[in-house]
Amino acid sequence: MGREARPVVLLLGWLGSKEQYVKKYRALWEGLGAQVFQHQPSILQTALPGVADRALLRLMSDISSRYSTLRATSGEAPPVLVHAMSNAGFVAFGTMLHLTSLANPAALPRGAPGSPAASLKPQLQTDWKSAPGAGGGAGPSQDGWQAGSPRQAATRSGEDGESSGGLCVSGSGSQGDVLSGFKQVLHHTQGIVLDSAPSQATAHIWSRGVLAAVLAQPVQEVEESHPMLLRNLHSLAERYFMLPQVARRMREVRHAWQHHVPPCPQLYLYSKSDALIPYQHIELFMEQQEAHGVCVHHHRWDDTAHCEHMRKHPEQYRSLVRSFSEHCLHGQGPPKNWI
């Protein structure tokens, strides 16, 4: 990565990720000359939409302020790259995209992504429950990643200037200012890296992921050592996914990744040996993104555990990230208007 690029990287850790592990990814990017803005989603911030909105608004405000300072200092807008880890990072960035799309939607050109007209476009619908690897994770009756019908998606995505949780983001208030400022960050986003994500949102995956995060243990160990606790948490997760606000947030995240994501290349790094996230889910999502015109890059390992790719293959991981970032930074810049 050349000095002239000096990108900003938004690094979103996995659920329950600890600083001692996430800092290795930070060091990777800093070694490539980037400035890193880091966020590690907590369990509450991931599980509760209202808590997530407040935490992410604070994060977006901080990032926007720091980005504005960098822009003023250098005289130009630094390019932005996003590195999201596991489903927690995927949902966090999807929520940020969703919230940002609610800033003055009426001002968007008709037909632009995020405008009412664009939200009514037909969407690619996929039955995730028939995806290979779903196994015992069929979970609740609603599909965790489907955005619903096009008309429902338009309504639920906040045409009236409010998020589903009642978060006011229109007008001249501070929240609207934060989202407008974060739009500038997204406008200059030139690449997205997804590590070990995404998957269908099911009770099977959610319960195992949360318990592994709480106990700070690999998923395989959790299944073997805490079967009763896992069974109880699975029952709780089934009820959790039936909560209206949770189902709505899943639709919002999915819709945001389809309609409000920056039009830049995406790199998927994943493994067939991931005990938490079925690799077939990731590959199906990649196909969906390609169907929406996204330039998709990917690398699949056969022997690495969940979010363990860099630990087991450090040089290859670094090389993949470096090559991808060079491709993004030296390719065409983002269009003038995309959100």
Write out pLDDT tens, residues 286-295. 999 999 999 9
**Cβ atoms of 252 and 156 closer than 8 Å:** yes
Predicted confidence (pLDDT) at residue 86 exceeds the cutoff of 60: yes
Task: Tell me the backbone φ, ψ of residue 145, rounded to 5 degrees.
Answer: -115, -10
Predicted confidence (pLDDT) at residue 133 exceeds the cutoff of 50: no
Q: With 0.75 as the threshold, say if the pTM is over it.
A: yes
- Given CA atoms 110, 116, 122, 128 in this order, what sign does their dihedral have? positive
Which residues are registered as beta bridge partners of 35? Answer: 8
The more confidently predicted of residues 107 and 21 is 21
Least confident span in 125-129, 145-149, 296-300: 125-129
Least confident span in 51-60, 139-148, 313-322: 139-148
Average pLDDT of span 277-300 = 96
Task: Tell me the backbone φ, ψ of residue 14, rounded to 5 degrees.
Answer: -85, 170
Task: Tell me the backbone φ, ψ of residue 298, rounded to 5 degrees.
Answer: -160, 160
Residue 215, Cβ neighbours under 10 Å: how many?
A: 14
When mean pLDDT is compared over 4-13, 75-84, 148-157, the highest value belongs to 75-84
* pLDDT grade for 103, boundaries at 50, 70 and 90: confident
* pLDDT computed for residue 4 by the predictor: 58
**Cβ atoms of 226 and 215 closer than 8 Å:** yes
Beta strand segments in 142-287, E: 189-195, 266-271
* pLDDT computed for residue 330 by the predictor: 81
Q: Please, what are the domains in the chain?
A: 8-202+241-330 (3.40.50.1820)
- Given CA atoms 53, 56, 58, 63 in this order, what sign does their dihedral have? negative
The more confidently predicted of residues 73 and 130 is 73
> What's the mean per-residue pLDDT of the chain?
80
pLDDT per residue over 165-224, tens digit each?
A: 445 444 445 788 888 899 999 999 999 999 999 999 899 999 999 999 999 888 888 888
Q: In residues, how long is the chain?
A: 339
Structure token digits, residue 279: 């690799």
Average pLDDT of span 37-53 = 92
* pLDDT computed for residue 104 by the predictor: 57
Rounded-to-integer distance, Cα 294 and Cα 199, Å? 18
Predicted confidence (pLDDT) at residue 116 exceeds the cutoff of 50: no
Predicted confidence (pLDDT) at residue 162 exceeds the cutoff of 60: no
The alpha carbon of residue 97 and the mean position of all alpha carbons in its chain are separated, in whole angstroms, by: 9
* pLDDT grade for 56, boundaries at 50, 70 and 90: very high
Predicted confidence (pLDDT) at residue 79 exceeds the cutoff of 80: yes
* pLDDT computed for residue 19 by the predictor: 82
**Cβ atoms of 122 and 86 closer than 8 Å:** no
Residue 287, Cβ neighbours under 10 Å: how many?
A: 12
Predicted confidence (pLDDT) at residue 129 exceeds the cutoff of 90: no
Least confident span in 45-49, 97-101, 169-173, 192-196: 169-173
